[in-house]
């Protein structure tokens, strides 16, 4: 893939709109559902769909679910589509099965990163990409306005195929570790030093939760725990080697400075 620049993303805004209605909202009931939302609220596609679109050069792929953030209240959706409701989610959102897809829907004010930030008077839809833990999902698409909003980290993620952290505070570090491994395998991505440090810091306390988070997130066990153990050990060795290398370089640098002083 060529190096992605901001202009490349903006030039895809109309094409992405067509992609959504041809390949994602592929059944009549889904199109009806989305259009009923747009009558009273903008619908913001957050993260995954846009990520896959740019990583796969606009080619159609199978999506596990569709994340939609609403500017307005979701009560009308909950009442109108109650028969499609599977469950209410952690952050006052809705998980629905409509047509060919699962939909996770919540309001912008219930986004964890926004609720835990001081954003009075801010255009929240423009800030939303900055609440993404991963750089690779730090992008939002307004269906109503046919416009992308994204963090600069997203552009780097697509261009460099390096997984990094955009917004580190997160109530579920075990889910972040799980998704890190999934993205590494699925997209053949490298890990940044920042995300390696996050896993190293959080792994031991998160490990007991890695089984249950897979059950709740995937509906079953997708990865055995030993794959995460191996990832943790590899990261530990890498960070230890980096630290040792830095110490050696600092020692050499200090010796050079002493020689100059003498």
DSSP 43-64: EEEESHHHHHHHHTTT-----S
Domain check: are 68 and 162 in the same one?
A: yes
Among the three residues 147, 166, 185, which one is the final residue of a domain in this structure? 166
pLDDT at position 252 is 42
Which CATH number belongs to the domain containing residue 41 in this structure? Answer: 3.30.460.10
pLDDT at position 96 is 95
Collapsing DSSP to helix, strand or coil, 196 comes out as helix
pLDDT at position 122 is 56
Domain check: are 17 and 118 in the same one?
A: yes
Domain check: are 103 and 141 in the same one?
A: yes
Among the three residues 166, 184, 204, which one is the final residue of a domain in this structure? 166
| Terminal Cα-to-Cα distance of the chain (whole angstroms) | 52
Sheet of strand 147-150: strand arrangement: 85-88, 94-98, 101-107, 66-70, 43-46, 139-142, 147-150
Domain check: are 177 and 104 in the same one?
A: no
Domain check: are 6 and 113 in the same one?
A: yes
pLDDT at position 224 is 96
Number of domains comprising the chain: 2
Q: What is the CA radius of gyration of the chain?
A: 21
| 74 C-beta neighbours (distance < 10 Å), count | 19
Which residues are CB-neighbours of 208 under 8 A, at least 6 positions away?
Answer: none
Domain check: are 5 and 107 in the same one?
A: yes
pLDDT at position 118 is 64
Convert the pLDDT of each residue in 45-58 to its tens digit: 998 999 999 998 87
Among the three residues 166, 196, 221, which one is the final residue of a domain in this structure? 166
Domain check: are 145 and 183 in the same one?
A: no
Domain check: are 17 and 101 in the same one?
A: yes
Domain check: are 88 and 158 in the same one?
A: yes
Which residues form the domain of 225? 172-262
Determine the Cα–Cα distance for residues 162 and 3; give it in Å rounded to an integer: 13
Determine the Cα–Cα distance for residues 44 and 26; give it in Å rounded to an integer: 18
Determine contact, residues 37/191, Cβ cutoff 8 Å.
no
Domain check: are 20 and 89 in the same one?
A: yes
Convert the pLDDT of each residue in 95-119 to its tens digit: 999 998 999 999 998 888 888 776 5
Domain check: are 74 and 120 in the same one?
A: yes
pLDDT at position 256 is 40
Domain check: are 122 and 3 in the same one?
A: yes
pLDDT at position 253 is 47
- Taking the whole predicted model, whether its pTM rises above 0.85 is answered as yes
Query: Could you report the average pLDDT of every consecutive run of 10 residues in the chain (262 residues)?
Result: 78 96 93 93 92 87 88 88 91 91 92 74 76 96 96 93 95 97 94 97 97 92 96 95 61 46 49
């Amino acid at each position: 893939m060529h190096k992605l620049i901001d202009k490349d993303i903006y030039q895809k805004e109309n094409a992405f709109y067509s992609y959504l209605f041809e390949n994602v909202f592929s059944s009549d009931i889904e199109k009806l559902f989305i259009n009923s939302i747009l009558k009273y609220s903008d619908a913001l596609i957050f993260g995954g769909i846009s990520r896959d679109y740019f990583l796969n050069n606009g080619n159609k792929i199978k999506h596990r679910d569709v994340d939609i953030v609403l500017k307005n209240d979701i009560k009308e959706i909950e009442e109108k589509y109650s028969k499609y409701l599977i469950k209410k989610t952690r952050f006052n959102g809705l998980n629905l099965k409509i047509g060919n897809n699962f939909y996770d829907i919540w309001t912008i004010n219930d986004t964890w990163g926004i609720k835990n930030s001081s954003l009075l008077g801010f255009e929240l839809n423009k800030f939303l990409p900055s609440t993404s833990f991963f750089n690779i999902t730090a992008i939002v698409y307004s269906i109503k306005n046919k416009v992308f909003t994204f963090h600069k980290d997203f552009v780097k993620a697509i261009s460099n195929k390096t997984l990094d952290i955009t917004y580190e505070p997160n109530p579920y570090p075990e889910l972040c570790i799980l998704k890190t491994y999934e993205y590494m395998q699925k997209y053949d991505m490298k890990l940044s030093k920042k995300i390696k440090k996050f896993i190293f810091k959080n792994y031991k306390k998160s490990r007991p939760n890695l089984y249950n988070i897979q059950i709740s997130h995937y509906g079953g066990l997708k990865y055995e725990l030993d794959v995460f153990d191996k990832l943790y050990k590899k990261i530990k060795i890498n960070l230890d080697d980096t630290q040792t290398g830095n110490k050696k370089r600092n020692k050499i640098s200090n010796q050079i400075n002493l020689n100059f002083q003498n």
